[in-house]
Structure 1
Amino acid sequence: MKAFFDARQWKHAPQHFMANGTLLPNPEEPRRIEILTDAAEAAGCRFEMPDDAGLGPIAALHTAEYITFLRNIYTRWRRIDGAGAEVIPNIHPANRTDGYPKSAVGQAGWHQADTACPIAEHTFEAAYWSAQSAIAGADHLLAGGDMAYALSRPPGHHAFADLAGGFCFFNNAGIAAERLRAAGLRPAIVDVDVHHGNGTQGIFYERGDVLTVSIHADPARFYPFFWGHAQERGAGAGLGTNLNLPLARGTGDDDYLGTLATALERCDSFGADVIVVALGLDASIDDPFQGLAVTQEGFTRIGAALAATGRKLLFLQEGGYVSETLGANLTHVLTGATGG
């Protein structure tokens, strides 16, 4: 299987995030790259550097205002007397119709949904090349490939059109799906991360040309809390093209695979000819977030079920944090998909 990654993605090395009022080490650490690269190669992947497709495919989903913010905010932040080493907001607007401030602090609050997306000196560069890896994967399918894996890190599914969040800056799955749609395909995004893909849902919620499906731990008591509930079905032209399948904490293989069958049935009904898989490995029973309880064998079954649809598949890395089985889980998904 073709795989894509650019070494500049190593440069994003977030130090902290805040959870339950406590400043903690950030689990979206660069070491994930080494683990995931080895695991993908063990599954038969051959890595290539992505070409630079420019900002156009990114700007097709993200606002110019937001891209400008991400490009410049770290430099602006460092000019603040006493500023911390990373851009972390301390105030947020009540809604998206409030005034847009000029200050770096105010704009950080506008464009960062939470304290889990700190921005440092090389964050924009790493996020840019993470998106380019996803774009290269989409282009490989457009050139005739049937399957590809992009080690997109930092991840993307919590990023809205103008809002970072949850370790995410550019919405890689959305960017890839839009690239495929613009080329004439009919894409579905199937998100198997333990957390709901709220940014992806937000981007496509009022559109009917991209199907968004997310399987995740029930957000009633789990991040991202405000999105991912079953009643969220889309709106306007997108009504009926957003499907959320929340699961009880601790759900294991059999119930998870039954839910995945429901997700893939919706892809059939949508007439999708390509599936962008937002591949979070944090549904693992061993993941530090402890949301769901999928085993290594369960990940093999997930890969096999996706491949059994007969559609083109683009696997884009989302979550999955350092544990004893992180690499094995990726190997199992990809070998399940390829029959290896």
Structure 2
Amino acid sequence: MLTFYNEHHAQHEGRFAILGGEAVACADTPGRLDAVLAELARRGLGRIVTPHGVPLVSLERIHAPRYLHFLRSAWSAWLALDARHGGRDILPWIWPRTVTRRGDATSFPEPDDFGARLGCYAGDSASPLTAGTWTAAKTGADCAVNAAHALRLGEPVTFALTRPPGQHAGADYFRGACFLNNAALAAQHLLDDGLQRVAILDLAYSHGSGTQDIFYERGDVPFVSIHADPHTSYPFYAGHAGETGAGAGLGCTLNLPLARDAGPAHWFAALETACLRLAAFAPQALVVSLGVDTAGAAQPFAQPSASSCVSPPAGALPPGRIAPHFGLSGADFLRAGERLAYLGLPTVFVLEGGGAGAELGIAVVNVLEGFETAA
């Protein structure tokens, strides 16, 4: 297995997010990748390399050029407003009223005011832009595209080990601590490199809303997601079972929402449904959005669920709610990797959400090792 490691990921580290009316710590920290990297090294699983840079035109195959320009220039524009901004992250304070369909942010002239421009592209107040966000996100996109290209050069399985994650980022917006959609970029590169049909499977606890949005009206990239029911869990506005695609993509989206207190048996039943549908789609390659925030025991607690990448504020909801997990164990992640290997497809894994510490590394590498062993 070949792993493409984002050596610049630590340049993005938000100071805090705004949730429930208060500042809370961002859960997407550099320690997440450190844990996975350490576990890969401990097991000696494959080779770890750094990616070659890819041109911006590759990113424009998924993301709107105006949006990319904003991400690249946001920090410079922020500093130009006030030199004191160097010690502050960028969080939005005004939004136009829009839905999350592709093209919304670019359907009207871009405002001159920085705050108004920011609101065009920001989907929430829990995704701080920092001095190093563009470098970290761009290098993550490089990892994803390189991992996809390696499949075309004969690698049977590759891994994009990167942060910030990407599953909530749309063509022209960021949210859920995601700025560039790595899974979408990997799938698009495989198509641009000669394949006709590439599937994406999202295994994170929260629905891959940005990925669905990007491919919702396309028939060449079927999208399947197993996630917490959006009636009660982030991202709330996408991921319902009735969302099956539109236009050329009608029937190419499959959402498998689960109750937030669902256990491993329900999750594996959904995984089997997902695999059967993927086989019916008959893709030539698979991209897996690998979120392992499905690990751990579901327990009542007094905090709301939020993005898999952001810590929720305490005490915002009454007791009795369920912590965001499906209770998967280390052995379950091995089993999941084995099941995906039986699809017999060249596969790119892209890291998405999950906690921190050794448990994250074990869960992620278990999926990869299970896949390699079965393959």
**What band does the TM-score fall into relative to the shorter chain?**
over 0.9
Q: State the Cα distance separating 1:323 from its structure 2 match.
A: 4.5
Asked whether the 8 Å contact 1:155–1:167 carries over to 2, the reply is: yes
**Counterpart residue number, 1:102:** 112
Q: State the Cα distance separating 1:79 from its structure 2 match.
A: 2.8
- Alpha-carbon separation, structure 2, partners of 1:171 and 1:326: 21
**Counterpart residue number, 1:149:** 159
SS in 2 for 1:220: coil
**Counterpart residue number, 1:27:** 27
Q: State the Cα distance separating 1:152 from its structure 2 match.
A: 2.0
**Counterpart residue number, 2:41:** 41
1:93 aligns with 2:93: no
Q: 1:133 aligns with which of 143, 153, 165?
A: 143
Task: Note the 1:1-340 alignment, pairs <5 A.
Answer: 1-43=1-43, 44-81=45-82, 83=85, 85-95=88-98, 96=104, 97=107, 100-185=110-195, 186-285=197-296, 290-339=324-373
- Alpha-carbon separation, structure 2, partners of 1:169 and 1:191: 17
When residues 279 and 175 of structure 1 are mapped into structure 2, their CA distance, relative to the original with a 3 A threshold, is same
SS in 1 for 2:74: helix
Deviates more, 1:217-226 or 1:12-21: 12-21
Residues 251-293 of structure 1: per-residue CA shift (max 9 Å, x gap): 2222211101111111111111211000001111169762322
Asked whether the 8 Å contact 2:92–2:122 carries over to 1, the reply is: yes
Structure 2: 5+ residue stretches without partners = 99-103, 298-307, 312-322
- Alpha-carbon separation, structure 2, partners of 1:21 and 1:337: 42
Asked whether the 8 Å contact 1:40–1:330 carries over to 2, the reply is: no
Q: State the Cα distance separating 1:219 from its structure 2 match.
A: 1.0
Q: Taking structure 1 as the reference length, what is the TM-score of the superposition? A: 0.96
Deviates more, 1:291-300 or 1:125-134: 291-300
Number of residue-to-residue matches in the alignment: 340
Asked whether the 8 Å contact 2:35–2:358 carries over to 1, the reply is: no
Asked whether the 8 Å contact 2:264–2:327 carries over to 1, the reply is: yes
Identity of aligned residues (%): 37
- Alpha-carbon separation, structure 2, partners of 1:209 and 1:56: 20
Q: State the Cα distance separating 1:31 from its structure 2 match.
A: 1.1
Residues 88-144 of structure 1: per-residue CA shift (max 9 Å, x gap): 001111123565322110111111100121111110011000010111110110101
SS in 1 for 2:231: helix
| Paired residue type of 1:4 | F
RMSD over aligned CA atoms reads 1.6
Q: Taking structure 2 as the reference length, what is the TM-score of the superposition? A: 0.87
